[in-house]
C-alpha cells in the first residue's frame, strides 16, 4: 500500500474539493498518482463540488442551538444559492450539526469550526459532501456563541423561516424559573424585531454617537437658537436617539408601556449580551 502524506491529500483536496478521507482513499488506490486519483474522484462523482466553489450564495439560513442546561447558545449563518436547497432536510441537518458544534467546541472562527468532527467526519468534509449532493455552493459564513455561566441562561429565536436569528444572555439567580425563561424569549423576539445597536449606552459605537451628535447639532443650529440652547437641544435629542437604539431603554415590543430593562428586572433577570444575525446582511469588520 502506498505511503500517502498529508501534503498529497491537501493537494488533491485543493484540486477537487473532495473530502479528506475520500482523497486519501483514492490516492492509496492510485499509488500516489495525482492525475489518476483525480480521475477516480470524478468517476465516483466526488469532485463535482469543486466546480461550484465560486458561485454566489445569496440564500441560506440562520440556525440556532442551545445546550441542554440552557446556559450556552449559538447562532450560525450558512449560505447556499437558492431557497429550495435551504429548505431541504439535508441542508437543515447540516446547519444544525454546525450550530451544535459551536456549542460543544467554542471555535475561534469558521475555519476552526470546520476542523472539528461530527458523526465521525470533519465538518468541512460534510459541507463538501453536501455541495456534491445538493448541487449548490454552500458557505458557512459566520458563527457566534454566548455562555451564561452558572448564574444565568440563554435563549434563541429564529424568525421568518431562518432569515433572522437572535440570541440573548441574561444573569439570574434562579434561571430555571418559567417567568424568566419567558422573559428572555420575549427579549429574543424583541431583538429580532428592533435590531438594537447595544445592550447599554456604553456599547453604542462612538462613531455612531459622534455622527448622530453632528447631525443633531446642525439641525438645532439651523433653528437659530443661542449656543447654550442648541447644546441642550442636542443632548435632549441624543437621549431620544439612545432610547431608540439601546436595548435596555427600548419599549418592549410585546408591552410598549415598559422597557426591556424594567421587564427583565421585574422577573429577577438582567440582560448581559445579545447577538442578532440577518441573512445576507453586511458584516462589520
How many Cα atoms are found within 13 Å in the side-chain-facing hemisphere of 211? 5
Asked if CATH classification 3.40.50.2000 holds for the domain at 6-52, the reply, yes or no, is: no
Q: Are 77 and 145 in contact (CB under 8 A)?
A: no
Residue with cell 424569549: 185
Q: Are 162 and 61 in contact (CB under 8 A)?
A: yes
- Tell me the sheet residues that pair with 121: 118
Three cell numbers written together for 177: 424559573
Q: What percent of the chain has pLDDT over 70?
A: 92
CATH of domain 157-194+253-285: 3.30.479.20
Three cell numbers written together for 257: 408601556
Give pLDDT, residue 10: 81
In angstroms, rounded to a whole number, what is the distance separating the alpha carbons of residues 80 and 250? 34
What are the boundaries of each domain within the chain?
A: 6-52, 54-147, 157-194+253-285, 205-245
Crossing angle for the helix pair 34-43 and 6-16, to the nearest 10 degrees: 50
Q: Are 13 and 127 in contact (CB under 8 A)?
A: no
Asked if CATH classification 3.30.479.20 holds for the domain at 54-147, the reply, yes or no, is: yes
Asked if CATH classification 3.40.720.10 holds for the domain at 205-245, the reply, yes or no, is: no
Give pLDDT, residue 257: 96
Cβ neighbourhood burial of 101 (10 Å; 0-12, 13-18, 19+) = buried
Residue with cell 445538493: 134
Q: Mind listing the pLDDT tens digit for each residue in 57-82?
A: 789 999 999 999 999 999 999 999 99
pLDDT band at 3 (very low <50, low <70, confident <90, very high): confident
In angstroms, rounded to a whole number, what is the distance separating the alpha carbons of residues 141 and 156? 19
For 229, residues 6+ apart whose C-beta sits below 8 A from its C-beta are: none
Three cell numbers written together for 107: 471555535
Residue with cell 448622530: 212
Three cell numbers written together for 40: 477516480
Q: Mind listing the pLDDT tens digit for each residue in 80-137?
A: 999 999 999 999 999 999 999 999 999 999 999 999 998 888 999 999 999 989 989 9
Asked if 54-147 and 157-194+253-285 have one fold, the answer is yes
- At residue 152, φ and ψ (nearest 5 deg) are 170, -175
Amino acid at each position: 500500500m502506498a505511503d500517502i502524506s498529508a501534503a498529497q491529500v491537501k493537494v488533491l483536496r485543493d484540486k477537487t474539493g473532495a473530502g479528506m478521507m475520500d482523497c486519501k482513499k483514492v490516492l492509496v488506490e492510485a499509488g500516489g498518482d495525482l492525475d489518476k486519483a483525480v480521475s477516480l474522484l470524478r468517476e465516483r462523482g466526488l469532485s463535482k463540488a469543486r466546480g461550484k466553489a465560486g458561485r454566489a450564495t445569496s440564500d441560506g439560513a440562520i440556525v440556532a442551538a442551545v445546550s441542554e442546561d440552557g446556559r450556552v447558545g449559538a447562532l450560525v449563518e450558512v449560505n447556499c444559492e437558492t431557497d429550495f436547497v435551504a429548505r431541504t432536510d439535508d441542508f437543515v441537518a447540516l446547519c444544525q450539526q454546525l450550530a451544535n458544534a459551536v456549542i460543544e467546541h467554542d471555535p475561534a472562527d469558521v475555519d476552526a469550526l470546520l476542523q472539528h468532527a461530527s458523526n465521525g467526519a470533519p465538518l468541512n468534509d460534510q459541507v463538501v459532501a453536501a455541495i456534491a449532493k445538493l448541487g449548490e455552493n454552500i458557505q458557512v459564513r459566520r458563527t457566534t456563541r454566548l455562555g451564561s455561566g452558572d448564574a444565568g441562561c440563554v435563549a434563541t429565536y429564529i424568525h421568518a423561516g431562518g432569515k433572522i436569528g437572535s440570541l440573548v444572555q441574561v444573569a439570574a439567580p434562579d434561571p430555571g424559573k418559567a417567568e424568566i425563561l419567558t422573559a428572555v424569549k420575549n427579549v429574543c423576539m424583541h431583538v429580532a424585531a428592533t435590531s438594537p445597536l447595544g445592550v447599554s449606552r456604553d456599547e453604542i459605537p462612538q462613531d455612531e454617537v459622534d455622527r448622530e451628535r453632528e447631525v443633531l447639532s446642525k439641525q438645532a443650529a439651523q433653528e437659530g437658537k443661542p449656543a447654550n440652547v442648541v447644546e441642550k437641544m442636542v443632548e435632549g435629542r441624543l437621549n431620544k436617539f439612545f432610547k431608540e437604539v439601546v436595548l435596555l431603554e427600548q419599549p418592549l415590543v410585546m408591552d410598549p408601556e415598559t422597557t426591556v430593562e424594567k421587564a427583565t428586572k421585574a422577573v429577577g433577570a438582567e440582560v448581559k449580551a445579545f447577538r442578532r444575525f440577518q441573512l445576507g446582511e453586511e458584516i462589520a469588520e
